Amino acid sequence: MSGQGEVLNGKFIERPNRFLARVDIDGRTVESFVPNPGRMYEFMIPGKSVFLRRNSAPHRKTEYDMIGVLHDGLLVSIDSNLPNRFIRRLLEKHSLPYFSNYYRIIPEPRHYDGRFDFRLEGDDDITLIEVKSCTLVENGHAFFPDAPTLRGTRHLKHLVKSLKDGIATQAAVVFVIQRPDAYVFSPHDGNDPNFGDALRAAYDAGIDVIPLTTRVIDWDLQLQERIPFMSGPMEF
């Protein structure tokens, strides 16, 4: 992400809707696009230190993207588009040992009535991958989602169907945790019990659940480690 526009530090004021935030930069109030549909209640606090990247693309309503927050002294990326770029880079370098024997990467392949994030093709293997951005961590425990996601539940069901229909030989959902302080991952049944049920069913059906912690370096993500998946259900 470095080099894609000047990054400015400001203070969060308010979030009038899911995709718009008002931020104070040196006494000046600016409006910023929020590239994340999640609730992020733990971040959207008046006075919170946030980071905006200038974006001068045409036809935009705002001049900035809010890409990160400083939370308890920790830099957290909130750009939900970044995990896909991050995973694609790792796939191109063959840096993820969970996926092997592929020679072709197809982004956003169309299957059923939608798209997955990646399709990996090898001589005898086809892998379908769905990538999810995760920012919610409580006492070292990462959770997804932080808001109900019908789309996320549908993706999981389609991954299961791809194995049953023989479209894929491997299917996985990768949760990219955009901070380094998580030690275990679970679905957030309090926010979306249907997603939690779908994730557990997918896991039982052979879908690989891969939670990865990362560190924000120069507004890009650096892989830290894979952490355990605790299926739950959890009580909230």
Residues 67-110 have pLDDT tens digits of 999 999 999 999 999 999 999 999 999 999 999 889 999 999 98
Whether 91 is in a domain gets the answer yes
Are 64 and 95 part of one and the same domain?
A: no
Residue type, 186: S
User: Which of 59, 77, 95 is where one domain is finished?
Assistant: 77
Domain with residue 97: its CATH number is 3.40.1350.60
Domain count across the chain: 2
Are 25 and 53 part of one and the same domain?
A: yes
Question: What is the per-residue pLDDT for 55?
Answer: 87
Are 53 and 113 part of one and the same domain?
A: no
Q: Based on C-alpha coordinates, what's the Rg of the chain?
A: 18
Are 91 and 51 part of one and the same domain?
A: no
Residue 29: which domain range? 7-77
Question: What is the per-residue pLDDT for 1?
Answer: 43
Are 104 and 176 part of one and the same domain?
A: yes
Are 14 and 68 part of one and the same domain?
A: yes
The confidence band for 236, taking pLDDT boundaries of 50, 70 and 90, is low
Whether 2 is in a domain gets the answer no
User: Which of 62, 77, 92 is where one domain is finished?
Assistant: 77
Per-residue pLDDT at 124 exceeds 60: yes
Are 114 and 70 part of one and the same domain?
A: no
Per-residue pLDDT at 234 exceeds 90: no
Whether 235 is in a domain gets the answer no
Given a contact cutoff of 8 angstroms between Cβ atoms, the answer to whether 10 and 54 are in contact is: no
